Structures are given as structure tokens and as C-alpha cells.
Structure 1
């Protein structure tokens, strides 16, 4: 999990000390999303910030990352998430003449946009298999692209201003800039009290989400939304054996791709079907012993009261799966007293 943010103002040079301080403050709000590193890049009307949780290429994957042409930055990227097919894309790009300085997936995304996205960024983004949210600044076109993965796994918010836009992985990054109004209207209140997500209503007045499967293009002429992917219903005609085989193939491919990392990996295990299946597959395909974690409350299992939607506690199933699969398991036990501690509450609000 990384954090990205930025500020585009086509009527201002953001290189001054006051603007730099604001960008630094915006970036600092996401320290919990990226504890390993931080960086900013500022040039004229564009300022980008990044907080990094290092997963791939710990040394070479620092951000913001730039693709240089003729000794100058041509594209500058702040990126969060992971592109699972980056190795295949890298091979294709190398065959087309691209040269890489790192082994990170971030650099692959940069070169993918340069190769396939010059005329239509949707073509470049469609090549990516992963979960991601990123911002790409084109120094020649003076154009910002805000991109979100197909299902909206990674968050990305933006706030149009008179002369550009503010953006961030979380609203608090945007609200750290005084151009963003800290106000909630009636629609925002409805959002906080409902269970239905609405990308055009982020609780705060004037703030929006980049829609899943969309690109937001920001230029001096305005803001444009572009769709690069949408879910379609093609019907299901496969028989049961074919369906089972296909689902297994998809799950195995997904798990193997997500095991690519330069740091230890783990699973969050609830004892349910989904997390148990994924944990078992991860243990099967990993070269190292998989660590698993579960979250529970002190006394919950011992004092559990069955209900129509939850007839048994999770704990016993978690331990059965961990034992059967052979994970290095840890239970994270929470207590009401600890959660009511003022310092814990303050940390939760700040995070």
C-alpha cells in the first residue's frame, strides 16, 4: 500500500517555498500508507508526492519516477499498487527497443504509456493486469492522467480547482491544501449513513473519486473522464466441470502473480471459504512458508452467541486451516479496553 498525491495549477509556478511546503504537507498525511520512503517532484504547474511501501525492487523503485528523453523528464509517475504482468510487458517493451534502469513494475508502467499511450492512454492502461491507482504527468503536453484499476481496488480522489486539480489516495491529502473546502453538504451526509458507494459523492463537497476502470484527463482546457474498461455480461454456457476447471485456473494464476515480491508475504485468514482457498494456494506455490494472520476479540469465541447469519465463531476454523495448510500463524487479539484508549483512538483518526 502506497500513497500518492499532487497539485496541478496551470496559472501558477509551484516551485516556490510556500507551494513546496503545502505539497510536503499533503504527502505527509499518507505516512501510514507508505512508511518506507517519501518523495516529491515539482516543475512549473505540476507537483507530485509519493509515500512508498516497498514491495518490488526495494532500492530501484523510488518515486516519483521519471522517464527521460533528451536528458529531460518526459513522463513523471506516482504510482500505488502492483502490475502483476509487468514481467511479460517488460519483455515486450525490451523487444521494441526500450531500456530499463530498474526491475520495478513502476518503470514498466512508464514505458507502457510511452509506447502504447501516446495517442490514446486507454490502450496503455488496458495492457496492465493488476490493482493500481496512479498519476502520470506529461511534461510536453502539460497533461495529467489519473488512472484507477478496473474494479477500484486502489482508491484515488480528486478535487477540481479554478486553475487545475488536487488529487490524493485519501481525502485528507487533498484537504491538507487550503484550496480544498472542508465542508460536507446534505448529499455527503447521506453517503456517510448509507452502504451504497457513489464515486461522485465522497462526503466532502466538491471532491470526487476516479471511477473504477476510468481515466481522468486534466489539461488547461478542463477535466475529461475516459472509460478504458467496463464489466459486460456475456452469459454463461460452460458445464460444471469446465466451470470448475476455469475458476481453478484463474485463481491459481492470480495467486502465483501476487506472490511476486522482494519482501515476505502473508495472508489474512478468516477461516471462510475465500481466505482459506487463497491461503492454501499461496502455501502451495510459495517457495517460503506462508505467514497467516487473523484478527479476533478477547473472549469472543468463548462467549459467542449463534445467529441466523453467523452460526459459529471464526476462530476454530482459522486454526484448523492454519494447521492443515502449515502456515506460520499469528492471532491479533483486540480488547475493548485497548480500543477505548485515547491514544489508540487518536492514532486511528490520524491514520
Structure 2
């Protein structure tokens, strides 16, 4: 896992711009604390920061391979879980390897198959290859978009990076945010390819982009397709178990300490149990971590997405699978620390407004990183198997993204200044985004009724919602140099379950029926029967009073970020009774504080014309 960046220029001599290349590379130091490297030629400059996970002595980057016609150089982030099989195939084809890294397998795979190497890989990856033979840059991102990749076209080439901050470190890029960028920030739309910053784009999941002297072109090498599901219930459950066994085995491969992120929900518990089973066969014990908050039992309030506390279920699983477990307990003082908020906002490059849930995830990953370098996460199982409450109630029929149906965020005037809310017209933007996503849904011939609608709902989650969650997971983990792997995003599993009929996905009248049945033999009964409960927030009253005080300070100082906010409602939220403060008021506080941190860090130029 690493941070990558680069600069392609067909008119400048980039050997005279080493300082800029170094600056871009250093913004990725958190993603790669173990080593750094640059590769600079007149037309192409590549930068890399390394987090060593496989073949610690080898695998240094940028990596170069020579051919009779010229050199090919690559910067690569991620893991190819099938690299051992690919290396053997390439050896049979005459390739010789000098390292044991998956990086060299990917590079030599390009020499063998060109851009089609993308379709050979199983894993999470984002990489760029400069081919001196044709003076072209090939950029490839994994099928589900687990690893990020951004690019910015210039007058004679292109800048790219794992994160926007790498691109913004180049003098050719400007930190401007226009109306559509603000719409992305405030609407939770997560439009594929959109990157918020003016002139910047995100390489879409499952896509290849190629830059040469004729310009830039992009195409999909993989996308979800609608096919007939012919397996019986028993065969489907058995195949999902078989896939999970293989996926976990592949994703446990590392030359550094590994662990599991355990919430006590079905997803992370099944993943942890499978890891414990496989490691146990080799005499190893799985290490697990969970987040908790002091006084959570007394202060907890059940919500639609989080009806139960995690801790009792976490402990039931750790006792059941005999994991080496640690609870990471985070108090209100730690969560409300302005330095932690700045770190979280800086990691995401955006003021997302999730507040304590982002801050706690950052602190959780930071604590995990002290003991492990690789962690498995149950992220995305809800999107794959249909776990959220709105998959199963009237919200699935709403003419909007189901996770936003009936929620306060649709009343954007609660957070934004009245003038900005009018100018952005977020309701129309969301409607257009939703309509476009639904129209893209692949359908079988003759598919209709509930099955058609649920295929659309699943598609919305797998192409929109999951992107927001994976981006959050990647940024927060890589900000502390922790590699988080997501077994439920294996494209084989995603494609198979996507085509499983909804009636089969809910055969026992519950959410995630297939996953429950496929793994129930591994889990305590309490976890098998537990309903979906999302990543927990803190109910510590000290946290609420702290952010109220911080928001009041912003108002007193007249911080520039508040030009985007509804000041009067923010003022009301800052003095509300902490015991009765509403969810909407708390969201206003979080958003304002995140915006202020974002302004301080990035100094964005807001352009509304």
C-alpha cells in the first residue's frame, strides 16, 4: 500500500522541476512512511511513498523495466491478491523476476498484456505506467474503486495522485471549488468521476485512462452486468462460503502483522471468524480491534441505523473465536480535540461533516497501527448483501437515493446560508444524479416489479454509496499508514451476489440472508440474530459541549468558512441544551467545524460564477 503521484508534460523539461515533484511526493508521506522515491525524465516524473507490506526488502518504487525498445516505469498503490498465480504464468511466458513483490508482477504483466493487464488482476489497486516506447501514460484503477486515483489535465499533459493534495502541491493546479464541487460536498451524491476541485477528476472504478500526444481517453474494463442466476438456495449459500474462504485466505497474505476490525455485526464477525479459522490451522491467533466510548452503556440512544451497542456482541465474538482482542476506548476530549479534526479533514481533503464518526475512525486506525500494519474490514457487505434498513421498508421506493429518503439533509437550508442554498439548488442536483444512476442500472430482459427495483437499489449502493464509504476508509487508514483490506469488495463476490434474486437474498425474511446462512456455523447465536447496526457515534455529553464551544468561537471570530453556513441556526445549535440537542443541530456544528478546518488547511477559493 502506498501513495503515488506524477506529472506528464509534452512541452516542458521536467528534469528542471525536481522540487515540484518532491513536493507532490511528500504530501503522500502518511500513505507511505517506509520509503520514498522519484523517477524524473524530460517528459515524465513519477513519485512514490511506500508502505512495505509484501517483500519488504524488494518492491522499491518507482519501478522500472527495460525492453529492447525502451524503458517502462510504474508507481503502484495497493495489493494484487492473485500475484503468485500471475507470476507463475509470466514465468512460463519467459519473464524473469528480481523481487518477490506483487508490484513487479503488475509491471511485467503490463509488458506482456499491455492495458489488458487490468482484467487479469484480483485486488485493490491504483497505478500509473509511463511507457517511453510510445510516450504514453496508462492509468488503471481497481474494479470497485477501493484505492483512489485523481488526475488534473494541464495545457500540455497531466498531473495525478492518490489524493487531491498531491496534485494541489503542483504550481499548475489551483485550489478552486466551483458550484458543482460544493454540490458534491453538501449533497452526498458522490458522482462517479467528480473530484470537487475545479479541473480535477477521479478515475472511475474499473476504468483505464490513457494519455498520449493525441490527448486523453478513458474506457471501462469492468462493470456490473445483469445475468441469469441459476443456482439453488443451497448452491448459492455454498458458493458464497467458498468465495469467502478463498477471499480471506488471499487477503491474509502479508509480511507484516495483520488484524481484524471487529464491530460485533454479522459482517465483521463472519470475516473475523473465517480469519481465525484459517490462521488457527497454521497455529496463529487472529488479533481483533473494536472502538468503544466511556459511558456508552449509560448514554447510548438507539437510532434507525444503530439500534444496539457493539461491545456485548464484540466480546461474544472474541470469546467464541478466541481472538487476541483490544477495545480502543475514545473519550470526548480526544474526539473533540481540534488537532484530531484537522487531521481527519486533512486526510479526506474535504469537509464531509461526519464529525465524531470521522474523528473516532481516525483515532481507531491510529491505535491499531501501533500493533498492526494490515487490517481486514467488513466494509461494503451491507451494500453487497442488502443490509441497511431502507432495503426493507418504503424508502426503497423513493425517487431519490434510499439512504437519503426522508432525512433532514434534504432540507439543505438548515446548514447552508439561504443565498447559497438557492444558488446551488441541491434538490435538483440530487434528483439529476439519482436519475442518471438509475438509468445506468443493468437489467435482465423482462425484469420487472420488486426484482427490478431491488436490482436498481443494489446498483445505487454498489456504485454510489460504497464509493463514499471506501474513500472514507482509505483516507482515514492511510493517514496513519494502515492498510485496510475489504474482503466483501472482491469483484467475484460482488458480481455473483448482484445477480442473486432479491427473493433469495431475503429467503428467511431477514436482511443479508445468504451471508448469515453461509457463516452461521462460525458465530455465536446472538451475532447471527443481530440486526444491522452502523459504525457507532459517541453519546458523550462532554463531546457535545466541546463542539458547541468551538462553534461559538468560530462565530465570535467571524471565520470565513461561515460565509457558507446559516449563521443564525448555527448560533442556536451552539447554545442548545446538550441533553436535548437535535441530530440536525449537531450536524450543523460538525459541518461548520469541518468547513473551518478545511479552509484553514487548503485555503480553497470558492467560485460561484
TM-score bin, normalised by smaller chain: over 0.9
Q: Deviations over 1:124-150 (max 9, x none)?
A: 211111110000110111110110001
Q: Distance in 2 between matches of 1:347 and 1:307?
A: 28
**Which residue in the other structure is 1:80 paired with?**
77
Q: Deviations over 1:37-63 (max 9, x none)?
A: 111111111001111111100010111
**Which residue in the other structure is 1:29 paired with?**
27
Aligned match for 1:345, one of 338, 341, 344: 341
Deviation at 1:349, TM superposition (A): 4.0
Q: Deviations over 1:289-340 (max 9, x none)?
A: 1111112222223321223432210111111111211111111222221232
Deviation at 1:201, TM superposition (A): 2.0
Preserved contact between residue 287 and residue 324 of structure 2 (Cα < 8 Å): yes
**Which residue in the other structure is 2:331 paired with?**
335
Preserved contact between residue 280 and residue 325 of structure 1 (Cα < 8 Å): yes
Q: Distance in 1 between matches of 2:193 and 2:269?
A: 35
| Higher helix residue share | 2
**Which residue in the other structure is 2:315 paired with?**
319
Q: Distance in 1 between matches of 2:183 and 2:72?
A: 39
Preserved contact between residue 66 and residue 73 of structure 1 (Cα < 8 Å): no
**Which residue in the other structure is 1:159 paired with?**
152
Q: Distance in 2 between matches of 1:306 and 1:32?
A: 36
Matching of residue 246 in structure 1 with residue 244 in structure 2: no
**Which residue in the other structure is 1:9 paired with?**
9
Q: Distance in 2 between matches of 1:244 and 1:349?
A: 41
Q: Distance in 2 between matches of 1:74 and 1:302?
A: 63
Q: Distance in 2 between matches of 1:251 and 1:293?
A: 21
- SS at the partner of 1:302? helix
Preserved contact between residue 83 and residue 105 of structure 1 (Cα < 8 Å): yes
Detail structure 1 runs of 4+ shifted over 4 Å in the superposition: none
Preserved contact between residue 157 and residue 168 of structure 1 (Cα < 8 Å): yes
**Which residue in the other structure is 2:111 paired with?**
114
Structure 1, unaligned stretches of length 5 or more? none
Aligned pairs (5 A) from 1:50-89? 50-70=48-68, 74-89=71-86
Q: Deviations over 1:2-46 (max 9, x none)?
A: 111101011111111xx1111111111111111111111111110
Q: Distance in 1 between matches of 2:101 and 2:317?
A: 34
Q: Deviations over 1:107-139 (max 9, x none)?
A: 00011111111xxx1x22111111100001101
- Aligned pair in 2 of structure 1 residues 264, 257: CA closer, same or farther (>3 Å)? same
**Which residue in the other structure is 2:372 paired with?**
none
**Which residue in the other structure is 1:199 paired with?**
192
Q: CA RMSD in A?
A: 1.4
| Higher strand residue share | 1
Comparing 3-12 with 336-345, greater Cα deviation is found at 336-345
- Aligned pair in 2 of structure 1 residues 7, 149: CA closer, same or farther (>3 Å)? same
Preserved contact between residue 199 and residue 208 of structure 1 (Cα < 8 Å): no
Q: Distance in 1 between matches of 2:156 and 2:93?
A: 38
Matching of residue 291 in structure 1 with residue 291 in structure 2: no
- SS at the partner of 2:246? helix
**Which residue in the other structure is 2:303 paired with?**
307
Q: Deviations over 1:155-183 (max 9, x none)?
A: 10000110000000110110001111110
Q: TM-score, normalised by structure 1?
A: 0.95
- Aligned pair in 2 of structure 1 residues 263, 334: CA closer, same or farther (>3 Å)? same
**Which residue in the other structure is 2:201 paired with?**
208
Q: Distance in 1 between matches of 2:6 and 2:129?
A: 10
Q: Deviations over 1:86-123 (max 9, x none)?
A: 00011111111110000000000011111111xxx1x2
Structure 2, unaligned stretches of length 5 or more? 348-609
Preserved contact between residue 157 and residue 167 of structure 1 (Cα < 8 Å): yes
Comparing 292-301 with 185-194, greater Cα deviation is found at 292-301
Preserved contact between residue 53 and residue 255 of structure 2 (Cα < 8 Å): yes
**Which residue in the other structure is 2:94 paired with?**
97
**Which residue in the other structure is 1:190 paired with?**
183
Q: Which has the higher contact order (CA 8 A, sep 6+)?
A: 2
Aligned length: 344
**Which residue in the other structure is 2:572 paired with?**
none
**Which residue in the other structure is 1:222 paired with?**
215
Q: TM-score, normalised by structure 2?
A: 0.55
Q: Distance in 2 between matches of 1:63 and 1:111?
A: 14
Preserved contact between residue 192 and residue 204 of structure 2 (Cα < 8 Å): yes
Deviation at 1:73, TM superposition (A): 5.9
- SS at the partner of 1:63? coil
Deviation at 1:264, TM superposition (A): 1.1
- SS at the partner of 1:39? strand
Preserved contact between residue 70 and residue 133 of structure 2 (Cα < 8 Å): no
**Which residue in the other structure is 2:229 paired with?**
236
